[in-house]
Amino acid sequence: MGGHGRRRAGPGEEFWQYRPAHSGDAARFVDWRRSARSDTQFVRDREWQLAQSLSLWVDGSASMRFTGAPSGRGARPTKGARARLLALALAVLAVRGGERVGLTGPLAPPRPGRAQLMTLATLLGDDTALGPDYGTPEVAGIAAQGRAVFLSDFFGDIEAIAAALGTLADRGVTGVMLQILDPAEEDFPFDGRTIFESMGGGLRHETREAADLRARYRARLAERRDRLARMAAEAGWQFSTHRTATAPEAALLWLHAALERGRG
């Protein structure tokens, strides 16, 4: 992360080129070691860098409040709690790298500095808002040619997700999608009579033998994941999945590395 090189001389930290000194160049800019090898004085130019703009969409839908193990020794965080943790950690890394970072939508547009981190911590710490059953990416406020991170289970309308990616690709936005799932949503460890209900209460299904649904459920989940990965690739984005039972550090490292690859 950090400033993005503009392939020209200007303010920045990375060495760009040596050039002959001109009238008006201050003596402190002269590279005396390089100049000693010739009869000409040389100035050490740096590459002009612009602060990158990073926008975060953290799915706040009811579905993200799910955890298959809310208490006990094997307790797991909700998907939403993990998404908010990763978003804030990524924001800290971005600000340390000199980037502007914010949330999609109108509440916290990308800005640099520690004050922005406090704003993001406050907004991400509020999980009381009641959203719809499933989320749709919000693209408002994402700057053209900027970067974005989507953190969600991506159980919402897949056509709406595709439309959001298409809109951003047309604006030159690159980014990453991290699908956050609870192990129960991948493994489907249910047997016997089971009532399935969405977190918002909008959907309900009862079955006498849940095990009979396991193979079909896993196949449909795999199909959705494959399509999400293809959609991301077509938009020039990267896609991965994170289970809430695993440590968040691995997901954070992947997010950081994926953003670096996307910038190249």
**pTM of the predicted model as reported, rounded to 2 decimal places:** 0.81
167 touches 253 (CB < 8 A): no
Domain assignment of residue 42, given as a range: 4-50
My answer on whether 183 and 250 are in the same domain is yes
Residue whose tokens read 């993200």: 64
CATH, residue 131: 3.40.50
On whether both 63 and 31 belong to a single domain, the answer is no
251 lies in the same domain as 122: yes
Q: Are 68 and 189 contained in the same domain?
A: yes
pLDDT, tens digit only, all 264 positions of the chain? 544 443 444 444 444 567 788 777 777 778 888 788 887 888 776 644 445 899 999 999 999 999 999 998 889 999 999 999 999 999 999 999 889 999 999 999 999 999 999 999 999 998 776 789 999 999 999 989 899 999 999 999 999 999 999 999 999 999 999 999 999 999 999 999 999 999 988 889 999 999 999 999 999 999 999 999 999 999 999 999 999 999 999 999 999 999 988 665
For residues 17 and 148, state if they share a domain: no
Count of the separate structural domains present in the chain: 2
Task: Please give the pLDDT value at position 10.
Answer: 41
> 97 and 40 in one domain?
no
- Give every CB contact of residue 260 below 8 A, 6+ residues apart in sequence: 1
Determine the distance from the C-alpha atom of residue 122 to the mean position of all C-alpha atoms in its chain, rounded to a whole number: 18
Q: What is the b/e burial string over 240-252, where b = at least 16 CB atoms within 10 angstroms of the residue's CB?
A: ebbbbbeebeebb
Same domain, 142 and 93: yes
Q: Tell me, what's the pLDDT at 2?
A: 47
Task: Indicate if 213 and 100 belong to the same structural domain.
Answer: yes
